[in-house]
Amino acid sequence: DGGITQSPKYLFRKEGQNVTLSCEQNLNHDAMYWYRQDPGQGLRLIYYSQIVNDFQKGDIAEGYSVSREKKESFPLTVTSAQKNPTAFYLCASSIPPGQGWDGYTFGSGTRLTVV
């Protein structure tokens, strides 16, 4: 079955450490997105990519970095510059506009905790 796979499900980061969250999709979607969710709040956009080798900052990109070397993969690195990284991270993907648009597909999420 097609879908989005996020790994790991739980991740613990020490102070000053960089960590990378994985997001892989086999839906043949062109666009991919990273969102952050803090407890009791909505989702905020970190980065998004509408095509391979291109990505744009979202609303809260500071302290994060991404790459999009393959269509299927959009990893997110949480750097030591992100001072409050504890949150739930969700990856999503979508097809190009105008091709039977039916919204976004979300992964199961990664819960990151600073220890």
Q: Are 54 and 106 in contact (CB under 8 A)?
A: no
- The answer to the question of residue 93 lying near another protein (CB under 8 A) is no
- The answer to the question of residue 45 lying near another protein (CB under 8 A) is yes
Round to whole Å and give the CA distance between 10 and 67: 21
What is the per-residue burial (b if ≥16 Cβ within 10 Å, else e) of 2-38? eebebeeeebebeeeeebebbbbbebebbbbbbbbee
Q: Which stretch binds another protein (CB under 8 A): 13-21, 64-72, 73-81, 93-101?
A: 93-101
Torsion of CA 14, 17, 20, 21, to 10 degrees: 30
Q: Which is nearer to another protein, 80 or 86 (CB)?
A: 86
Cβ 32 to another protein, closest distance in Å? 11
- The answer to the question of residue 102 lying near another protein (CB under 8 A) is yes
- The answer to the question of residue 107 lying near another protein (CB under 8 A) is yes
Q: Are 66 and 34 in contact (CB under 8 A)?
A: yes
- The answer to the question of residue 73 lying near another protein (CB under 8 A) is no
- The answer to the question of residue 2 lying near another protein (CB under 8 A) is no
Residues that bind another protein (CB under 8 A): 31, 33, 35, 40-45, 48, 50, 58, 90, 92, 94, 97-98, 101-109, 111
